Amino acid sequence: MKPLADCKLYAFVDTAYLRGRAPEVLAQQLCDGGADLIQLRAKTASLEEIRRMAEAILPITRRAGVRLVINDFPALALEVGADMAHLGQEDFFDAGHRSVDELRPPGSALGIGLSTHAPDQARRALAAGPDYIAIGPVFPTPTKPAAPPVTLDYVRWAAQHVRIPWFAIGGINLQNLDAVLAAGATRICVVSAILNANDVAAACREFRRRLG
């Protein structure tokens, strides 16, 4: 498994985009396409349903050397043996947390990522000690239609001020990717532009090629 700093393409198994496909089938396609991380995001699923999906996906990501990230539930990530967990601002700070070490027992290797939507949130997140942060949504995105885009200005800010791994996220596709990279991003999260593609693995490969 490559170091997080060397990871470029962060993909998703998002149940909002399954369209009848099995989560583990999508996970295999994402691995085949060269994704470095895969987040399991299932906003409307029960904890037990998420556990079953994670247990089905984990052997696939393990074989491929790809990190599996569980959205929202670090305790579940620990339970199933996932590599990382990701939390939004409300799930972390509004829940009273101040350090990511509060979410993992001593000696645990569980990685933690945090979402951020503005420089002040990024500074607060960085002080909490995450393994990475997400910067976005850069553009309008159907994944979070109520979230106002942070624009490329926030990407430029992150490129100048954030020293841990960070991923630009939100509405990124092959048409606007060059602008995101020109703003200073070297790592990206992609949801709909990959999951809505006719060939998921091929879409991943094209993002990988463009990332260099």
Task: Collect the ranges in the chain with pLDDT lower than 50.
Answer: none
Q: Is 43 a catalytic residue?
A: no
How confident is the model at residue 147, as a pLDDT? 74
Q: Residue 158: CB partners within 8 Å, gap ≥ 6? A: 122, 135, 166, 168, 184, 185
Residue of 51, 99, 104, 144 with catalytic role? 144
Domains of the chain with CATH codes: 4-211 (3.20.20.70)
What tokens does 169 get?
């996220």
pLDDT digits (tens, 9 = 90+) for 82-119: 999 999 999 999 999 999 999 999 999 999 999 999 99
How confident is the model at residue 56, as a pLDDT? 98
How confident is the model at residue 153, as a pLDDT? 97
How confident is the model at residue 17, as a pLDDT? 96
What tokens does 116 get?
């951020």
φ/ψ region of 205 (left if φ > 0, alpha if ψ in -120 to 50, else beta) reads alpha
Q: CB–CB of 82/66 below 8 Å?
A: no
Question: Cα–Cα distance between 182 and 170 in angstroms, integer?
Answer: 16
Residue of 8, 67, 115, 187 with catalytic role? 115
How confident is the model at residue 69, as a pLDDT? 98
Question: Cα–Cα distance between 53 and 47 in angstroms, integer?
Answer: 10
Q: Is 2 a catalytic residue?
A: no
Beta strands 84-87 and 111-116, pairing class? parallel
Residue with tokens 């951020």: 116
Q: CB–CB of 67/84 below 8 Å?
A: yes
Distances from the Cα of 67 to the Cαs of 45, 149, 173, in angstroms?
21, 27, 22
Residue of 2, 19, 21, 41 with catalytic role? 41
Amino acid at 171: G
Length of the chain: 212
How confident is the model at residue 67, as a pLDDT? 98
What tokens does 126 get?
């960085």
